[in-house]
Amino acid sequence: MKGCLMVQGTGSSVGKSFLVAGLCRLLRQDGHRVAPFKAQNMSFAVPLADGTVVASSTIIQAEAAGIELSPAMNPILLQATGEQSARIYINGRLQGAMSARKYLQQKPKLKAQVKQSYLQLAASYDIIVIEGAGSPAEINLRENDLVNMGLAELVDAPVVLVGDIDRGGVFAALAGTMLLLQPQEKERVKGVIINKFRGDITLLESGIHTLESIIKVPVLGVIPYLDLDLGQEDSLDRQEKGSGPILAPHRRRQYDLLADKLRQHLDLTAIYRFIEEGNRK
């Protein structure tokens, strides 16, 4: 199988990173060579042995996929230095610091770099699971977008949209996000996922039916709240050339638990169909 899938969210901290990690683990368990990709991340910069840096979420996702880390998985990393400035890393190397406004002016020039990094991964792996950033409904940032719908268009990726029910307002968040998308962007959204659910799922059924009638795409699953323990003390210990990361048993169990929950609560037939629709340009 060849293809890709993009996970976008109604906002930050809705669980995109862990869902991408779980999908990477699940797909690896099913025998696929899979890699994560996030074009731009605002995160702590974690140094690697070769002197490059990647985001901490990228480390988790590569571990879950059982592959070696590569800066190509996170070609642009921003590390905040203030409310309106950040250090900029390209392919894991520091390029300096700049203001938010100056960075926005540079984004068109970075599109080619993002696509090159993506194609580098696509040449080496069967499936690329892509993580968005923030929300695609940030309409003030639509122009020159490199992380949500702009990236989905650049690499021709189908999209699943994730909302967080634990913080409340998930139906409004999902419906409102779809409302603010352009018609061609809505066509990319194949379904939505409700994440971090606690309680009796039958109480959601009427809301799910109403939501589907409004947004015109299916709810692909309701994922229970998971309290995963992926603490730094069990971080990646070592890598051998040509092999994936060697994980502490505790971390391996956590990734397997995450994959198991996705198997139980996601429509995987649909997920695989969307992946096959993800043709790489």
Chain segment 130-143, per-residue pLDDT in tens: 999 999 999 988 88
- Any domain includes 51: no
Number of domains in the chain: 1
Mean pLDDT, all residues of the chain: 90
pLDDT at 180 over 50: yes
Mean pLDDT of 206-219: 98
pLDDT at 279 over 80: no
Mean pLDDT of 191-212: 96
Q: Report the predicted TM-score, pTM, of the whole model to 2 decimal places.
A: 0.92
CB 39 within 8 A of CB 76: yes
Domain that holds residue 263: 3-39+124-277
Confidence of residue 44 (pLDDT cuts 50, 70, 90): confident
Q: Which residue has the higher pLDDT, 272 or 56?
A: 272
Cα 234 to Cα 63, 115, 229, 231, 238: the distances in Å are 12, 33, 9, 6, 11
- Any domain includes 96: no
- Which ranges in 189-241 belong to alpha helices (H)? 205-215
- Any domain includes 74: no
* Sheet hosting strand 85-90, strand order edge to edge: 40-42, 76-82, 85-90, 93-99
Length of the chain equals: 281
Strands in 43-188 per DSSP E = 45-47, 53-55, 76-82, 85-90, 93-99, 127-131, 159-164
- Any domain includes 67: no
- Any domain includes 98: no
- Any domain includes 141: yes
- Any domain includes 28: yes
- Any domain includes 158: yes
Confidence of residue 249 (pLDDT cuts 50, 70, 90): confident
Count of CB atoms within 10 A of residue 103's CB?
18
The CATH number linked to 265 is 3.40.50.300
